[in-house]
Amino acid sequence: MTEGNRGVRAQEWRGKWWQPSNPDDKVSGTLLFKPGDPPVLHTIGRFRKPVTRTTEGTIILGSTTNGEVTLFRCSDSWSSLPEAFAELPSEWEYPGKFVLSGHHFERPQDIAFSKFALSINGIEDWSIGGRFVVVPDPPPGVTHVVQYSQLPDIAATVGDYAITMRDFAMPHIDLCREGRATRDPYFGVESAHPVSLEALLNGPVIGLHNFVAFGLGMPVAVKWLRVRPTAHPDRLVDVYFRADEPPEPGFRRSDEMLFTFADIIDDFEPVVRRWFELAEKIAPILDLYFSTLYGEMTMRPNHEFLSLAQALESYHREIYPALKLIPDDLYGKVYNAISASLPTDLTPDLNEKVQKLREKINNDVSLAARLEYLLDQAPPSIMRHAIPDRDDFANRVKHTRNYFTHWSSKPSRKWVTFGINLLHITKSARWLLEALLLGQLGLSADRVEALLARNERLKRARTWTPLY
């Protein structure tokens, strides 16, 4: 199911297919899944009863060369064709959203799970591995015995979920040549209550997926997802679904990561809890951050910059809501004074416009003021390597954000930034946001600074050179 660090591979299932409501109406076909695309069932002929989408989710079952398969949330691409075409031996397509390989789920409500396991590419570099031990006194006739000593499980409870980080190694033995083991660590999760497939993916799966991506500081993909149905806990089911694949996975050294599992192993539970709380508290901000992380190679530079500038502004607004332009009690007096000073003999049309203008008066601080406050909170390593000139950075972010947002015909050429300099301030903005998010995981300021001070990517943050 996996191949090294490359995530889920393409799969196919060949066999007979039918709808649970009409088990005698079977067709032959092949279900194809390719990472990045939705699964599609290609059949010879079509079902006599059209497959239509329902709010609960439509199901097609298959008995294949790879065992039992359920295609969930699917529909009939050709349901609009006349019924007379139903008997033609043509290929028909039934796109779906999820493939569950290993069990037949007759009803949507049966697709619920209390236990699952998740592996993510790059996790073997991010986590801690065990070690190989040469066993003394091997049996007669055996020259050496080598055992892989796995690390003990590290557990955390987050809401209704018990999350366990597990080390695992798969042995590969060639009796004529060599023996080796491939590490495949994973997260094991057990829920206090059965959860639907969508709730599982939108909750613990995406939470752990993003947690590892944040630690590595690069895009990741699901290597495999395996679940145990609540009604049939003896069954192990592989789940396949469409997910945007990151660029070709690369290797990242531990001194280039924001943090490794070793850095948080003693505080795994509180750190993971804070991460899931943060994902609820500032979800839009994390969405902006991860959109730039996954889109770094494809996003237009101005869009990436705008996303990070918006993320920093929103971060300040959400994390420090008490910071206002003037104290709230004084703001109320100022607002009332402005309202009282308005003329009373305005025309209805003009009065409506004035009232709308008055409603726009707010007590929010400006982007420049928010940046100044965030820069005051930034760890020393960020200011030393990524933002050596805070005034230059703040002015460029403010004026460039305003220019790209409002597209002024007369930009302030002194501060509005383009080209290689735009890449500079975008990278600096990313480092600032990552450092601030790192500080929200419950780590002390000294620990955050130590993690950043060792980061070799941060040390190279200002070594950009033009390529043209």
Tell me the Ramachandran region of residue 312: left when phi exceeds 0, alpha when psi lies from -120 to 50, beta otherwise: alpha
Q: Express each pLDDT in 226-262 by its tens digit.
A: 999 999 999 999 999 987 665 555 678 999 999 999 9
Query: Residue type at 445?
Result: A
Residue recorded with tokens 């796109």:
95
Residue 145 pLDDT grade (very low, low, confident, very high; cuts 50, 70, 90): confident
Element (H, E) at 274: helix 268-281
Prediction pTM value: 0.85
Name the residue among 51, 41, 47, 46 with its Cα closest to residue 11.
41
Domain layout of the chain by residue ranges: 11-106, 111-264, 283-323+365-459, 330-359
Q: Express each pLDDT in 3-43 by its tens digit.
A: 333 456 789 999 999 999 899 999 999 999 998 889 999 99
Strands 154-158 and 146-149, by their bridges, are unpaired
Joined tokens for residue 82: 């006349």
Phi, psi for residue 28 in degrees, rounded to 5: -90, 145
User: Distance between CA atoms of 54 and 212, rounded to whole angstroms?
Assistant: 35
Distance (Å) of CA 200 to CA 227, 426, 449: 10, 34, 34
pLDDT for the residue numbered 339? 64
